[in-house]
Amino acid sequence: MAEHVVPHHFHSAEQAFESSKLGLWLFLVTEILLFGGLFVTYIIYRAMYPDMFHEASHHLNRPLGFVNTLVLICSSFTMAMAVNKTQHNKSNRASQYLLLTLMFAATFMVIKYFEYMHKFHDGLLPGAHFTNTEITHPKADLFFSLYFMMTGLHGTHVLVGMGLILWVLIRSNRGHFGSHYSTPVELTGIYWHLVDLIWIYLFPLLYLIG
């Protein structure tokens, strides 16, 4: 058991926690604005080439996208349970839930890998690398540029999240957390919910418009 020490510039553990939480929420606002640039690009090009977007979206694998959506929602649930168990001093249960979350995240990335491989194989690539001949619209590469930028940035966030969850899992196993101190678990949880939430927007915008 490692005793957690409140940093010297805070008065109390509560003040430290509140500060960390505010800091993280502000960071998440910046994340939304980061994705916001891509959403604006999406809106503009979808308005410019609506037919192409419809046609191109048919070339995404809906069942796999749907499974991935379910996987992420489940991972959000297990993450929330991990936070809950930590706060109730059930570190072992919390660790199990964290491990489950990590596995869901890995599943998401594996499925994403197969989707990407399939796109590479079909020549559905961004910009000048686009070689697919099935889609007749001359600007279809723009859709796949967006697809790869948006899902790629999201995937990067999933990888970062997996790193965070692993770090929290290791510390949880060592008994660092409990009702007295659960900040890293909670913050990782909030971050993970944002990753989930962004996917919930990406899925219909990219896969379901046909």
Partner 1 sequence: MAYDSNDHHKNYINAEKGIWSWMTTLDHKRIGVMYLFATMFFFAVGGIFAMLVRLELFKPGPFFSPDTYNKFFTLHGAIMVFMFIIPIIPAALGNFFLPIQIGAKDVAFPRLNLLSWYIFVTGSLLLVFSIVSGGVDTGWTFYTPYSIRTATSVILATLGVFVLGFSGILTGLNFVTTIHKLRAPGMTFHRMPLFLWAIYATAIIQVLATPVIGITTALLVMERVLHIGFFDPKLGGDPVLFQHFFWFYSHPAVYIMILPGMGIVSEVITAFSKKHIFGYHAVAYSSLAIAGISFIVWGHHMFVSSQSPLANFLFSLLTMLVAIPTAIKVFNWTATMYKGSISLKTPMLYALSFLFLFTIGGLTGLFLAAISVDVHLHDTYFIVAHFHYVMMGGTVMGLLAGLHYWWPKMFGRMYPEKWGKLSCALTFIGFNLTFFTQFWLGKMGMPRRYHDYLPEYTPLNIASTVGSWFIGAGMLIMFIYFIWSLFKGKRASENPWGGKTLEWTIESPPTTHNFHKEPVITTGPYEYGELKTTGEA
Looking at 33, 73, 159, 160, which residue binds partner 1 (CB under 8 A)? 33
Spatial separation of the C-alpha atoms in residues 28 and 190, rounded to whole Å:
9
Residue 142 binds partner 1 (CB under 8 A): yes
| Subset of 4-23 contacting partner 1 (CB under 8 A) | 7-10, 15, 18-20, 22-23
Going by C-alpha positions, the residue among 150, 130, 151 that lies closest to residue 139 is 130
Structure tokens at 140: 């279809």
Smallest distance from partner 1 to CB 152, Å: 9
Contact between 69 and partner 1 per CB under 8 A: no
Among 58, 88, 129, 174, binds partner 1 (CB under 8 A): 129
Q: Does 127 bind partner 1 (CB under 8 A)?
A: yes
User: How is residue 123 annotated by DSSP?
Assistant: T
| Among 111, 115, 107, 113, CA closest to 78 | 107
Question: Cβ closer to partner 1: 64 or 122?
Answer: 122
- Binding partner 1 (rule: CB under 8 A), the pick from 27, 113, 120, 201 is 27
Could you give the CA distance from residue 198 to residue 31 in angstroms, rounded to a whole number? Answer: 10
209 in Cβ contact with 44 (< 8 Å): no
Which positions from 80 to 119 touch partner 1 by CB under 8 A, shown as an x/- string? ----------------------------------------
| Residue 138 lies near partner 1 (rule: CB under 8 A) | yes
Q: How does 179-205 read in b/e, with b if 16+ C-beta sit within 10 Å? A: eebbbbbbbbbebbbbbbebbeebbeb
In the DSSP assignment, the letter for residue 3 is: P
Which residues are at the interface with partner 1 (CB under 8 A)? 7-10, 15, 18-20, 22-23, 26-27, 29-31, 33-38, 40-41, 44-45, 126-129, 138-139, 141-142, 145, 148-149
